Structure 1
Amino acid sequence: MGGEVADVVTASGARPLWHGRALAVLGILLCAFSLRSAVASLSPVVDRIGAEFPLSSAVVGLIGTAPPVCFAVFGLLTPLLERRLGLERLAVIALGAMTVGLVARGLVGESVGLLLTTALIFAGVGMGNILLPPLVKKYFPDRIGAMMTLYTTSMAFSTFVPPLVAVPVADAAGWRFSLAVWGVFAAAGTIPWLVMLLRGDHRRVVPVPPEPEPQAEPETLRPAASEPAAITATGPIVTAPENRSLFRRLAGIPLVWALAVTFGTSSTMAYVAFAWFPSIAADLAGVNSGTAGLLLSLFAFIGLPASLLVPVLVVRFQATRPLFLIGALGGVAGITGMLLAPHPSVLWLWTVLFGLVGLLFPLSLVLISIRSRTAESAVVLSSFVQSAGYVMAAVFPVLVGVLHGATGSWTIPLIVIAAVLVAAIPAGMMAGRRGTVEDEWERRHGTW
């Protein structure tokens, strides 16, 4: 039995989420919170930084482009590092890089230092992005839906909170403190993993719940009965191909590319919105900058209920395809509304509809966990999918700006973004096909 169905039927054998793995819960949630707060805490105070020392447009542009570029590069490096260090040690390194970078960013006195510390932060974030789905796979094979809900909700919460509090904190204590304070959460996130490493908890085998009797489909999430279905500190007990070989195999599996397009579409919509949505709202509807900022927060807020609902709907009700269609077509409807009726009185409605693309992010993350059999393959799948997706996300915000500059209008850029959503629908439908990447390989080539 494949994909989501297997997670449903194993729920009866699941143990309580906190039982014996409270540190893993805390470590995952604090890491998830730090991934987004590290990114979202800078832009609200850029003007204050520029008032203290000059920020050239080139530096600001590089800082804006840095997240997806760093995420793609370190997404590719993470599996190599993980194979040598293990998930938990690499999580400590990633959170440590974020901590140092966040604190140092609050101490810089010139633009180059701001750029370098921001790059260090995003290097840590890039590793953390890849590590979280495999950590969930390793420690919560019986509670993937519940844990994915918690961690994607933590990420959604940390997306819209920093923009809301960054300016008031800067007013009260200065922009340096407003930037550096987020390092507290990253530093706290290292503690559970360090304790687990010192106690040797990461070496304990986490049992996979017993496989239910097969019903409708021949596929299975786990290895054959002759192979031990347990996960250890360095991955599955089952001998797995080297990461390089896994990358080559993944590149030949259509399901993997469908997952990459799904993730890339989600990331593209988010980075386009954060880069251009306030300008689009101001130009098309004539709203002031304050209202445009609130609309952007509304767009980001849609990700919170999405993170609460999507993992449960996918794991328990196999709702991948309906959710993808709601997100993609809702986004197209929002864009169409902005083009045809950009009136301030209804702009909030178009923003909410466009914000439905926020369904795609938690959808993509939970699919990475359930479309792989083991933590080891989840690391490489997460790296492949997210790196490819972030390359796509790095291209389109720049393309939107170029098209706007060339045409002097938002019509063509918005049509292009709507076309991306429509073009991604076949990939979303393929990603909803139950089974794992190992199943896909074995159907085509034999033994994984």
Structure 2
Amino acid sequence: MTASSARPLWKGRTLAVLGIVLCAFSLRSAVASLSPVVDLIGADFPVSSAVLGVIGTLPPVCFAVFGLLTPLLERRLGIERLTVIALVAITIGLVCRGLVGGSVGLLLTTMVIFAGVGMGNILLPPLVKKYFPDRIGLMMTLYTTAMAFSTFVPPLVAVPVAEATDWRFSLAMWGAFALAGAIPWLLILMRPGPPVPERAKRDSGPEVTKGAGSAASDSPTLTGPIATSPTTRRLFGRLARIPLVWALAFTFGTSSTMAYVSFAWLPAILTDIAGASAASAGFLLSLWAFIGLPASLLVPVLVVRYQATRPLFIFGSVGGLVGIAGLLLAPVPALLPLWMVLFGLVGFLFPLSLVLISIRSRTPESAVLLSSFVQSVGYTFAAVFPLLVGVLHGVTDGWTVPLLIVAGVLVVTFPAGMIAGRRRTIEDEWERRHGTW
């Protein structure tokens, strides 16, 4: 699709824009709204540390499991119907979580929420590719910015709302956004005829040329028909044999690992090695996370228009390494904001990974499979490393070894980032080695 064929973002696609942005907002707000009010919940019924520990490990585990199930469900139901199901599951889970009377109910409703979020994580990149093949960079910017924004809003308003009303309303109110996100997709499904303009849903390989606002800027020219694969299982087998796919998975896994390790342990690290107070540690964690906001604004455009995949990966990885080195070598309170900003540059890897899922596949169907494979593998890593960091801290009675392990992840993943920067699709990689996709 050429730049000249790109349509205005809203023309004929207003519902899709709203559906994607509201869905993206719901994926993060559903996760970030619980921890700020845990103490208030504990005043009503006991929430053991074991339950909190399980809840803390649920996100990456559920994301990995439902990431594998999503392509199977999408083949049977279609991407729009499955998106509605995911958002309804999030809505039900959030509302019911505000009604629970014990820790078991809290755990079960949280599982329902994360099941829906796990499906939504997989479906959003293919939805962008299906409805906005001519505006991938812009839509990925809106999508990742909505996710970054919803990371900050719940912690800021959850406690004030809970104090003004109660913690139950504070938890349940986020269901309104998930429900609102389902409405545009329901309206799209109710339309007569195909749910998306024909030129945006072609299953054959469209001719792609470079142009501003087009995904082609960081992807190769694509021509010719794409053979339809017989089964999801067979396609997954093919994906596992493509080095580019593993490179994308390791890149995404590194981004997820940095996030979950930081949210789990960074406040404790800052308190132990630098003497930061609990309030200061919380602020520094927020500062670390804040870097994801400008990253979400810049990365999609820089990748799609200026082929900046490798420079961005290097920038994020090296910045993260310098930040970790600062924590190890100069854990001085006055320098902690600097180290957090530098370490926070690893936040560039998350929007980078999501954009690559969209532009390293030819069709929405293959994007669903690639998204499932990459995110399932990545979240499996993210589930392992926070536990590993905790074990190493307990064994060594310090944070030097755990921080070196975290730095080692960035170093080991460096070749994967370089491979992910190749301007080829997964179909190109398969056809180059094995013939027709």
* TM-score tier after normalising by the smaller chain length: over 0.9
User: How far apart are the structure 2 equivalents of 1:107 and 1:381?
Assistant: 37
> Is the 8 Å Cα contact of residues 2 and 210 (structure 2) preserved in structure 1?
no
Displacement of 1:57: 1.6
User: How far apart are the structure 2 equivalents of 1:102 and 1:221?
Assistant: 44
User: How far apart are the structure 1 equivalents of 2:282 and 2:2?
Assistant: 44
User: How far apart are the structure 2 equivalents of 1:174 and 1:334?
Assistant: 39
Equivalent of 1:382, from 371, 382, 387? 371
Equivalent of 2:124, from 122, 129, 132? 132
Displacement of 1:220: 4.3
Displacement of 1:86: 0.3
The answer for the alignment partner of 1:222 in structure 2 is: 222
User: How far apart are the structure 2 equivalents of 1:118 and 1:54?
Assistant: 16
Larger displacement relative to structure 2 (54-63 or 364-373): 54-63
Larger displacement relative to structure 2 (118-127 or 54-63): 54-63
Normalising by structure 2, we get a TM-score of 0.95
> Is the 8 Å Cα contact of residues 13 and 210 (structure 1) preserved in structure 2?
no
Alignment of 1:224-239 (within 5 A): 224=224, 227=225, 239=228
The answer for the alignment partner of 1:211 in structure 2 is: 208
1:27 and 2:19 are equivalent in the alignment: yes
User: How far apart are the structure 1 equivalents of 2:296 and 2:196?
Assistant: 30
Displacement of 1:117: 0.2
Alignment of 1:19-418 (within 5 A): 19-200=11-192, 202-207=194-199, 211-212=208-209, 220-224=220-224, 227=225, 239-418=228-407
**Count of matched residue pairs:** 426
For residue 208 of structure 2, give the secondary structure of its aligned residue in structure 1.
coil
Q: Displaced runs of 4+ in structure 1, greater than 3 A?
A: 200-206, 208-214, 219-223
For residue 436 of structure 2, give the secondary structure of its aligned residue in structure 1.
coil
Displacement of 1:204: 3.8
The answer for the alignment partner of 1:235 in structure 2 is: none
Superposed CA deviations along residues 355-378 of structure 1, whole A, max 9, x for unmatched, are 000000000000000000000000
Superposed CA deviations along residues 49-81 of structure 1, whole A, max 9, x for unmatched, are 122111112111100000000000000000000
The answer for the alignment partner of 1:18 in structure 2 is: 10
User: How far apart are the structure 2 equivalents of 1:144 and 1:69?
Assistant: 29
Letter of the 1:133 partner, please give it: P
User: How far apart are the structure 1 equivalents of 2:49 and 2:389?
Assistant: 17
Sort the Cα spacing of 1:18 and 1:76 in 2 relative to 1 into closer, same or farther, 3 A: same
The answer for the alignment partner of 2:203 in structure 1 is: none
User: How far apart are the structure 2 equivalents of 1:212 and 1:148?
Assistant: 19
Letter of the 1:293 partner, please give it: G
* Structure 2 gaps, min length 5: 201-205, 212-216
Displacement of 1:210: 5.1
Letter of the 1:148 partner, please give it: M
The answer for the alignment partner of 1:3 in structure 2 is: none
Sort the Cα spacing of 1:433 and 1:220 in 2 relative to 1 into closer, same or farther, 3 A: closer
Sort the Cα spacing of 1:128 and 1:341 in 2 relative to 1 into closer, same or farther, 3 A: same
* Structure 1 gaps, min length 5: 1-8, 230-237
For residue 43 of structure 2, give the secondary structure of its aligned residue in structure 1.
helix
Larger displacement relative to structure 2 (108-117 or 167-176): 167-176
User: How far apart are the structure 2 equivalents of 1:292 and 1:207?
Assistant: 50
Displacement of 1:241: 3.5
Displacement of 1:167: 1.2
User: How far apart are the structure 2 equivalents of 1:308 and 1:201?
Assistant: 35
User: How far apart are the structure 2 equivalents of 1:82 and 1:222?
Assistant: 25
> Is the 8 Å Cα contact of residues 70 and 122 (structure 2) preserved in structure 1?
yes
Aligned-residue Cα RMSD (Å) equals 1.6
> Is the 8 Å Cα contact of residues 208 and 223 (structure 2) preserved in structure 1?
no
Letter of the 1:420 partner, please give it: V
> Is the 8 Å Cα contact of residues 88 and 202 (structure 1) preserved in structure 2?
no
Letter of the 2:259 partner, please give it: A
Sort the Cα spacing of 1:204 and 1:213 in 2 relative to 1 into closer, same or farther, 3 A: closer
> Is the 8 Å Cα contact of residues 11 and 143 (structure 1) preserved in structure 2?
no
> Is the 8 Å Cα contact of residues 14 and 142 (structure 1) preserved in structure 2?
yes
For residue 2 of structure 2, give the secondary structure of its aligned residue in structure 1.
helix
Letter of the 1:41 partner, please give it: S
> Is the 8 Å Cα contact of residues 298 and 352 (structure 1) preserved in structure 2?
yes
User: How far apart are the structure 1 equivalents of 2:232 and 2:358?
Assistant: 17
> Is the 8 Å Cα contact of residues 393 and 399 (structure 2) preserved in structure 1?
yes
> Is the 8 Å Cα contact of residues 331 and 356 (structure 1) preserved in structure 2?
yes
Displacement of 1:13: 2.1
Letter of the 1:430 partner, please give it: I
Letter of the 1:152 partner, please give it: T
Sort the Cα spacing of 1:200 and 1:62 in 2 relative to 1 into closer, same or farther, 3 A: farther
